[in-house]
Amino acid sequence: MDAHTPKLAPQTPLSAAIEHGRLYNRLPIRFIFRSYRNLSMLFAPSLPLTISRPVSLIYGKASDSVIDLIAIEIDPMLHAGESYEVFSWVAAPTTAGLKAAGEDYPTWISDNYLQLPITTPESIKNLALEITEGLETPFEKTAAITNWLRENIEYTPAIPSPPADQDVIEWILFTEKKAFCNYYSTAEILMLRSLGIPARWVVGYAQGELNKDKGFYEVRAKDSHSWPEVYFPGYGWIEFEPTPSQGVFSRADTRPVAAVSYTHLPLPTIYSV
């Protein structure tokens, strides 16, 4: 069952509870959000370090010392025209690092993020095996499934009603072959979990459009988005993008990103609305 923390004061460090100190290759970045509408749920990229507003965390229990963060509520509500600031620990792994991450998953990850519906069609599991045949590491398999979906399923902002007597994702993959983000991300998660790779579904917003004159990104309702994240030991949850209407994540092959303390680094600011 999900739980809530008591209200946390602005700038309360969250790093002790959300596994920051045990993760490699992440960069601290400051984001400032200004909203055009009232918000009760806070949006923050990746793993938040500190937040400028009083918040409550919605979480599942990971271990005695680490929580599995699900969402963040702003308390009191953020009103239209107001802003908040988040320092986030943003993933910047190398492909070499992810390939070498291994499969020594924490128990709470295996228990919660490898589950599949008992009705998952064998055809979906078999497709995952076919796409990843000959590949060894979870990263290589994840990249292969991501690329397969981008190349073989056509993006469309809407689909017709799926047949009532067929699994929706099976119909998308083998019959309709058109989808939008919710179906791309769900299909990837099902295939990855069937291979024993922990994955989760994330809902939020894409980056929106850069307003060059004003120097910030404008994120609108049309930018609402979902994507899969995959767990890598030592790195935590890493984003992947199977939806072809969005850009591909670019990751360096071998150049390491040094582990740094966010209290000692000049921080860029990214504006959003």
Dist CA 182 CA 163 (whole Å): 17
Residue-level pLDDT at 201: 97
Residue-level pLDDT at 21: 54
Dist CA 10 CA 238 (whole Å): 27
CA atoms within 13 A on the CB side of 97: 22
Dist CA 15 CA 54 (whole Å): 16
Residue-level pLDDT at 64: 75
- The answer to whether the pTM exceeds 0.85 is yes
Beta-bridge partners for 217: 210, 272
Q: What are the DSSP E strand ranges found in the chain?
A: 3-4, 26-34, 39-41, 47-51, 55-61, 67-78, 83-91, 154-155, 178-179, 199-205, 209-211, 216-218, 224-232, 236-239, 269-272
Chunked mean pLDDT (size 10), the chain, 273 residues: 73 70 77 91 89 90 80 92 91 92 94 96 98 98 98 96 94 97 98 98 90 85 93 94 91 60 42 44
Rounded to whole angstroms, what are the CA distances from 71 to 5, 98, 137, 236? 11, 26, 30, 16
Residue type, 47: L
Other Cβ atoms less than 10 A from the Cβ of 200: the count is 19
Strand, helix or coil for residue 131? helix
Residue-level pLDDT at 264: 41
Residue type, 29: I
